[in-house]
């Protein structure tokens, strides 16, 4: 029996009532066709809850179609909580086998940011969350629920206090609360003089090198092409620094990001700063629910010394202000350059819920000890040697 058959078998018996409250029932919709059948109800709930882009079917369904098309790929499924036949919550997930364990992760891994439960703001969201995570049929046989990048204000955040729950890799995500400022000039006035001077100097250097132009692309062929170029820029920078990223380790991830940039309805926006006719800096972002997520920023290797990233980010902020974006999210981690732009931060952690003895051992030995140790050891390696390893990882 393959993974999808193992997942579907117990769920065919899960259409009745279950969960923490008698008035709530939990249902699981397995596979892409089942997710598509739920799209309208899922989108309606996402709109009502004003959730971010990585909880919306307009992004997650086409992303899942790209990411999980191989025979041995993770199985996407959607946990739905109903109250008297009315959907009040959705939990978009995948199920996969790794190191002999059955794992559950966010739908959209390893590309997504800020996974969360989509919940009706009028409903008992705590009860819906408890019902979804406690349902023994929907999550039958799962060893570990491992949900990365959960924000402190997420609907699923109360699960951090569940018995046995573990928070891993705590970090901070800087963001700019644009809604706080009546104008963009009012925001700029909060920046320190050194930061403003640095940006003026970068702009002057760029203008001396040639003419500047800036545009923000909606999903389409050109946006996809610029996304592919941004990824190439980013991989070149990572390799030069002796670093690696799981987002770029598999070609399917690159193809998936390019598909997001080409597919209408994903909320993707690609901002491009050109020096002359050549892109000097590119940013891939996503918008939804009044938020803009600055997902990936990259500079042309031969223009890095001019600091085009500062100008590109400044221009994207001007655009976001004109689009009535309330929060411009620079995402975790809180790198020093981000803190030069943002006063506010929000906590982000990985939520781990072991559900079996094997899952508890995996969490204690691998997730809490071995993996952090290996990361620390990698960064202790001299940069020249790291470059060799990074090139192998990034280019196969």
pLDDT at 56: 97
What is the CATH topology of the domain spanning 174-346? Answer: Aminopeptidase (3.40.630)
Mean of pLDDT values over 86-99? 96
Angle formed at CA 357 by CA 352 and CA 362, multiple of 5 degrees: 50
Mean of pLDDT values over 330-352? 96
**Pairing mode, if any, of strands 291-299 and 327-329?**
parallel
pLDDT at 396: 55
Q: Which of 19-23, 34-38, 150-154 has the lowest mean pLDDT?
A: 19-23
**Pairing mode, if any, of strands 144-151 and 118-119?**
unpaired
Strand-pairing partners, residue 213, are 274
Q: Which of 12-21, 253-262, 342-351 has the lowest mean pLDDT?
A: 12-21
pLDDT at 16: 38
- CA atoms of 158 and 208, how far apart (whole Å): 52
For residue 182, pLDDT over 90 is answered with yes
For residue 124, pLDDT over 80 is answered with yes
For residue 319, pLDDT over 80 is answered with yes
Angle formed at CA 306 by CA 384 and CA 239, multiple of 5 degrees: 25
Tokens of 224: 């996809």
Mean of pLDDT values over 254-267? 96
Q: Give the helix/strand (H/E) hosting 65.
A: helix 57-67
Which residues, in sequence order, are CB contacts of 22 under 8 Å at separation 6+? none
pLDDT at 198: 87
What is the CATH topology of the domain spanning 3-162? Answer: Aminopeptidase (3.40.630)
pLDDT at 367: 95
Mean of pLDDT values over 264-279? 97
Query: Which residue ranges make up each domain of the chain?
Result: 3-162, 174-346
pLDDT at 126: 95
Phi-psi region of 220 (alpha: psi -120 to 50; beta: other; left: phi over 0): left
**Pairing mode, if any, of strands 75-83 and 86-98?**
antiparallel
For residue 394, pLDDT over 80 is answered with no
Q: Please, which pLDDT band fits residue 6 given cuts at 50, 70 and 90?
A: very low
Mean of pLDDT values over 275-303? 96
CB neighbour burial string for 208-219, b if at least 16 within 10 angstroms, e if fewer: eeeebebebbeb
pLDDT at 213: 97
Which residues, in sequence order, are CB contacts of 32 under 8 Å at separation 6+? 61, 64, 65, 68, 76
For residue 55, pLDDT over 80 is answered with yes
Q: Please, which pLDDT band fits residue 106 given cuts at 50, 70 and 90?
A: very high
For residue 292, pLDDT over 90 is answered with yes
pLDDT at 393: 61
| Residue 288 and residue 51 in contact, taking contact as beta carbons nearer than 8 Å | yes
For residue 18, pLDDT over 50 is answered with no
Percentage of residues in the chain having pLDDT higher than 90: 78
Helix and strand counts by DSSP (H, E) for the chain: 14, 13
For residue 287, pLDDT over 90 is answered with yes
- Asked if the domains at 3-162 and 174-346 fall in one CATH topology, the answer is yes
Tokens of 117: 């439960």
pTM: predicted TM-score of the whole model, two decimal places:
0.90
What integer best gives the mean pLDDT of the chain?
90
């Amino acid at each position: 029996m393959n993974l999808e058959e193992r997942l579907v078998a117990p769920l065919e018996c899960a259409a009745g009532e279950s969960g923490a409250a008698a008035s709530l029932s939990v249902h699981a919709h397995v596979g892409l066709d089942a997710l598509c059948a739920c799209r309208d109800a899922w989108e309606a709930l996402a709109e009502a809850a004003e959730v971010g882009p990585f909880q919306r079917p307009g992004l997650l369904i086409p992303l899942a179609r790209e990411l999980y098309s191989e025979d041995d790929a993770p199985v996407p499924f959607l946990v739905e909580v109903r109250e008297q036949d009315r959907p009040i919550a959705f939990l978009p997930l995948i199920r996969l086998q790794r190191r002999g364990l059955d794992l559950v992760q966010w739908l959209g891994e390893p590309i997504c940011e800020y996974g969360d439960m989509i919940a009706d703001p009028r409903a008992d969201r705590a009860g819906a969350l408890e019902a979804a995570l406690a349902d023994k049929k929907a999550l039958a046989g799962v060893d570990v629920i491992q949900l990365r990048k959960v924000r402190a204000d997420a609907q699923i955040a109360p699960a951090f206090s569940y018995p046995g729950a573990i928070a891993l890799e705590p970090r901070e995500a800087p963001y700019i609360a644009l809604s706080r400022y009546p104008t963009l000039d009012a925001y700029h006035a909060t920046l320190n003089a050194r930061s403003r001077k640095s940006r003026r100097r970068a702009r002057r250097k760029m203008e001396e090198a040639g003419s500047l132009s800036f545009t923000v692309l909606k999903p389409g062929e050109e946006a996809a092409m610029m996304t592919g170029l941004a990824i190439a820029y980013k991989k070149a920078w990572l390799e030069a620094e002796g670093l690696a990223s799981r987002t770029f380790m598999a070609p399917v991830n690159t193809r998936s990001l390019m598909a997001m940039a080409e597919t209408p309805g994903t909320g993707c926006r690609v901002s491009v700063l050109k020096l002359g006719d050549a892109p000097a800096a590119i940013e891939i972002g996503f918008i939804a629910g009044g938020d803009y997520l600055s997902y990936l920023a990259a500079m042309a290797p031969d223009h890095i010394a001019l600091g085009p990233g500062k100008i590109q980010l400044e221009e994207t902020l001007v655009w976001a202000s004109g689009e009535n974006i309330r929060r411009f999210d620079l995402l975790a981690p809180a790198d020093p350059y981000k803190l030069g732009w943002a006063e506010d931060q929000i906590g982000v952690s990985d939520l781990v819920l072991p559900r079996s003895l094997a899952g508890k051992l995996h969490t204690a030995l691998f997730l809490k000890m071995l993996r952090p140790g290996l990361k620390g050891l990698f960064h202790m390696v001299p940069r020249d040697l790291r470059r060799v390893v990074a090139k192998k990882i990034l280019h196969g």
